[in-house]
Amino acid sequence: MAETDFERIFHPRRMAIVGVSSEGGYGFANGMLLACRAMGFAGEILPVNPKGGSFAGQTIFRSLEEIPGDIDFAVIAVPAPAVPEALEACRRKGAAGAEVLTAGFGETGTPEGRGLEQEIREIAARGIRVVGPNCFGIYCPASGLTLLPGPDLSREPGPVAFLSQSGGMSIDLAHLGGWMGLRFSKVISFGNGADLREAELLRYLTDDPETGVIAMYVEGVADGGDFFQAIREAARRKPVVVLKGGLSEAGGRAVVGHTASMGGSRAIWSGVLRQVNAARVESLEELAQACLAFSYLPARVFRGISAVGGGGALGAAASDAAEAYGIRVPEFSADLRTRIEAILPQPGSSAANPIDVANPFVPPALLGRVLRLAAEDGRVDLQVLISLLYHYKSQARAMGVGVADITPHAELAETVATAAADSGKPVVMVLPDLKRGPEDLDLAEMMARAREEFTGRGIPVFGAIGEALRAIGHVSAYYGRRLLGEES
Amino acid sequence: MAETDFERIFHPRRMAIVGVSSEGGYGFANGMLLACRAMGFAGEILPVNPKGGSFAGQTIFRSLEEIPGDIDFAVIAVPAPAVPEALEACRRKGAAGAEVLTAGFGETGTPEGRGLEQEIREIAARGIRVVGPNCFGIYCPASGLTLLPGPDLSREPGPVAFLSQSGGMSIDLAHLGGWMGLRFSKVISFGNGADLREAELLRYLTDDPETGVIAMYVEGVADGGDFFQAIREAARRKPVVVLKGGLSEAGGRAVVGHTASMGGSRAIWSGVLRQVNAARVESLEELAQACLAFSYLPARVFRGISAVGGGGALGAAASDAAEAYGIRVPEFSADLRTRIEAILPQPGSSAANPIDVANPFVPPALLGRVLRLAAEDGRVDLQVLISLLYHYKSQARAMGVGVADITPHAELAETVATAAADSGKPVVMVLPDLKRGPEDLDLAEMMARAREEFTGRGIPVFGAIGEALRAIGHVSAYYGRRLLGEES
């Protein structure tokens, strides 16, 4: 079998969408055509349906054979029994691959479903690679391929790859990551994984120069030994973050019906992931946060941090969380402490590390000076700055102005980014979003823009102290164990 | 010493604010006066400053003596050295209590600071109860007392009390709880706790008929044995949720400087809280979520749940999280499964429990029927419904309408509340907020209103599956251990 041409799969110039209906509606094929167009997909889109007609201004080919010339890739969204024939036609048209969105295969547990999935596997073996069936497809920001139902994902590429057996998890991470500042190389929802699945895709992403971090949502693996080899090699070269679904009895039941997977026990998964040095996460949110840290922070161990916030409990919370993830908050020397104290508001501040700057309204320039001073401690490898921007709303109200008029988030982002660059010590922001009622949409807008100010300058932003430290802990633990592995 | 008149402290009819300045500015006293007025505080506010003058239309008394008649309560926000004299004057004016917002006492670690705090203690012993110093005050929705800098907290009272050594934590929880649907009886930021503090306040809240759940943020306790007795008795009668700050080395350093507290070790705290059956949480967010569950759910053990969502990975995630917190997701009988399957979209759905309703657009009426059927299983004590409302935005975009026009959140809330009431089995909603960029403020508004639709009908809403199950787990574990304690 010829080597897979992943380039033609992820950056197709000519893509058939099989199942587009001239009667409109919101079927998968029509939805995918509109979504790819909304995304500005640069290639040619070739809709196919035996009934012909047209949709959204495009003539629908009655068959794949009718399309002049070869195709690179196809989206297949016809009823399950018609999938094998459509896939075979794509293969004959020279497609390097196809994604099958349709459900109703192995996951049904019926002989018919299993038989149809076996047919897909046999056609694939003859020379077309298949993503799916029962999946949401491929999101590739560089080419404009998108997931169901994603007309509005970012076109900005980045280092995060995501392999997901669940379509829902793939589109959820694409959306969640979008506003968090995650940027993706490829997101691949592979559903039942009749052909392409975890081990082979891991190997592809391990070699993919566009991918710096590999995240996975796994329900079950086809070949444990092969997966072990693939993930071990991947984690030797890049951070790998794994969310395993279906570890409980009921969760295992769910994944059988979802993607026809066998779950595996919690103890086995926990052991394997530790052994191969993959970061194990417990939720999609934690996965996104870990990817944010891996893609924004330098590739290194963070032995110690400074924690800076306006309010004493913030520093205590950051210190407690840091220790829980094996990171120290070293006490500053008397000299450094005195120099920091000299610039902080009094009373109510503290400069021992954690640093309590006393209130949430300390000007950005002063915070920048605090960060520069704290960076002088050689035991500080990273700084965490917690800012309760929501307090500006009460302030704005008292002054009779809008919250956007007085919150210095852009200035703060610029100051923080400069302090990080000048000191060579990264800064992680924590911007808790503590007011989110219908009467606080002005705050929602400000917080969203503040986040962009920071992420646009390469500063990762988390919504809670514990989440930030947990994510930093994943990065530090990964590089620490990798270092140990390289030494041994 | 006479019994403390907490009624006059929490519902003062005549309240002095000492330190109000005719020169305006945003000092604590002026801020508190404006905040109480914005809250619609029903009592009389009596500003005091030796310089006299007026502020915000109110004449400032030159001394407490100048005020005709007695006062019930006072807010003191003058420089630290002037606090003892002001407090003594309040005592002579018959005040039952005072809150001292000023910092610069024991937490500074200086002999001057410690001496001033000792003076406060001595005056208090002569018959005025003191909250603080170095605190944000008292929030009592029923009377309109508020925390610094809180002009915009809810006036709607409810069952949650919060005792906090940290002022920041108190105002943060008041804001965070507001939009989450938490309603408070009393929030007391007691700072250094020179007089009133954890044990005595716990005893007050244990007897307080307005309080159903007691949450605490503790940095250190004054008298370990007394605290143990007080929290044990409290937890026998009401759920008690505890966040302990400063358990790490650096965190311990932070709390010494913050509220002059001695931290105590992680092992001791963990043991004590288990022994007295208090729920231990690791963050302010988890504390708020636990309080939401305790105040919205019935007082009982939840042995088993159903988990309902549109997407197979959601059910797997809910099942895995449930098991982690000791809650089962029992597999339905073949009969019940068949009856649920008969009404679900095909293919892609699953009715084994967890229930996968296949997509996020299943109409509320159908979800209501699913909940009613699932409630028939005697092993199901509670139902968790996960709804990814954000997907309506792509749908709305495809239809060329606004997301608010097509998202059936009000109908869903009504249906869910009715199903819960009719079946006698509570429903917990999970509404993940996965799109929060600046271009999605329409979604932010819709999500905020959706949350209100549910909480207004007594249905608690969580933002993530794991957070919901963790909170349900706290409730179930508390009542389970209480039941065991009562039997033994």
- Note the pLDDT tens digit of each residue in A446-456: 999 999 999 99
B50 touches chain A (CB under 8 A): no
Strand partners of residue B58: B55
3-state secondary structure B166-204: CHHHHHHHHHHHHHHCCCEEEEEECCCCCCCCHHHHHHH
pLDDT at B150 over 90: no
Give percent above pLDDT 90 in chain A: 86
pLDDT score at B256: 75
DSSP H or E stretch at residue B416: helix B409-423
Residues 6+ away with beta carbon under 8 Å from B68: none
pLDDT score at B261: 67
pLDDT score at B33: 96
pLDDT at A262 over 80: no
pLDDT at A44 over 60: yes
Average confidence score pLDDT of chain A: 95
Question: What is the C-alpha to C-alpha distance for residues A449 and A453, in angstroms, rounded to an integer?
Answer: 6
Test A249 with B282 for CB contact under 8 angstroms.
no
Query: Taking CB atoms and an 8 Å cutoff, what residues of chain A touch B31?
Result: 398
Averaged over B334-346, what is the pLDDT? 95
Average confidence score pLDDT of chain B: 95
pLDDT score at B144: 98
Which residue segments constitute the domains of chain B, with CATH numbers given? 1-132 (3.40.50.720), 156-296 (3.40.50.261), 298-485 (3.40.50.261)
Which residue's structure tokens are 């009624």? Answer: B7
Averaged over A228-245, what is the pLDDT? 97
A312 touches chain B (CB under 8 A): yes
Band the pLDDT of A252: cuts 50, 70, 90: confident
Averaged over A383-394, what is the pLDDT? 94
pLDDT at B2 over 70: no
What strand order describes the sheet that includes B97-100?
B44-48, B14-18, B73-76, B97-100, B129-131
Mapping DSSP to helix (H, G, I), strand (E, B) and coil, where does residue B62 land?
A: coil
Task: Specify the amino acid at residue A253.
Answer: R
Give the burial string for B30-65 (b: 16+ CB within 10 Å, else e).
bbbbbbbbbbebebebbbbbeeeeebeeeebbeebe
Strand partners of residue B167: none
> What distance separates the 2 farthest-apart alpha carbons in chain B?
81
Band the pLDDT of B166: cuts 50, 70, 90: very high
pLDDT score at B81: 97
A262 touches chain B (CB under 8 A): no
Task: Read off the pLDDT of residues B125-134 as tens digits, 9 standing for 90 and up.
Answer: 999 999 999 9
Query: Taking CB atoms and an 8 Å cutoff, what residues of chain A touch B307?
Result: 250
Inter-axis angle of helices B83-92 and B111-125, nearest 10: 0
Q: Which residue has the higher pLDDT, A222 or A384?
A: A384
Task: Read off the pLDDT of residues B251-275 as tens digits, 9 standing for 90 and up.
Answer: 888 877 777 766 678 888 999 999 9
Band the pLDDT of B487: cuts 50, 70, 90: low
3-state secondary structure B222-269: CCHHHHHHHHHHHHHHCCEEEEECCCCHHHHHHHHHHHCCCCCCHHHH
Query: Taking CB atoms and an 8 Å cutoff, what residues of chain A touch B313?
Result: 165-166, 168-169, 217, 219, 245, 258
A437 touches chain B (CB under 8 A): yes
Strand partners of residue B281: B243
Mapping DSSP to helix (H, G, I), strand (E, B) and coil, where does residue A180 land?
A: helix
Q: Which residue has the higher pLDDT, A270 or A487?
A: A270
Band the pLDDT of A33: cuts 50, 70, 90: very high
pLDDT score at A462: 98
Give the Cβ contact number of residue B310 at 10 Å. Answer: 24
Task: Read off the pLDDT of residues B186-210 as tens digits, 9 standing for 90 and up.
Answer: 999 999 999 999 999 999 999 999 9
DSSP H or E stretch at residue A188: strand A184-189
Task: Read off the pLDDT of residues B352-393 as tens digits, 9 standing for 90 and up.
Answer: 999 999 889 999 999 999 999 999 999 999 999 999 999 999
pLDDT at B1 over 60: no
Which of B296, B443, B456 shows the shortest CA–CA distance to B382? B296
Measured in degrees and rounded to the nearest 5, phi and psi for residue A350 equal -155, 140
pLDDT at A256 over 90: no
Strand partners of residue A430: A386, A462
Q: Which of A39, A112, A175, A399 to mutate to test the interface with B (most CBs of B within 10 A)?
A: A175
| CB nearest to B436's CB, from A151, A179, A283 | A179
Mapping DSSP to helix (H, G, I), strand (E, B) and coil, where does residue A170 land?
A: helix
CB contact at 8 A, A430 and A388: no
Which of A194, A232, A226, A229 shows the shortest CA–CA distance to A214? A232
Closest-CA residue of chain A to B464:
A285
Strand partners of residue B384: B307, B428
pLDDT at A395 over 90: no
What strand order describes the sheet that includes A73-76?
A44-48, A14-18, A73-76, A97-100, A129-131
pLDDT at A1 over 70: no
pLDDT score at B264: 72
Question: What is the C-alpha to C-alpha distance for residues B139 and A362, in angstroms, rounded to an integer?
Answer: 25
Task: Read off the pLDDT of residues B390-402 as tens digits, 9 standing for 90 and up.
Answer: 999 988 987 889 9
pLDDT score at A2: 65
pLDDT score at B333: 98
CA distance A65 to chain B (A): 29
Give the Cβ contact number of residue A436 at 10 Å. Answer: 23
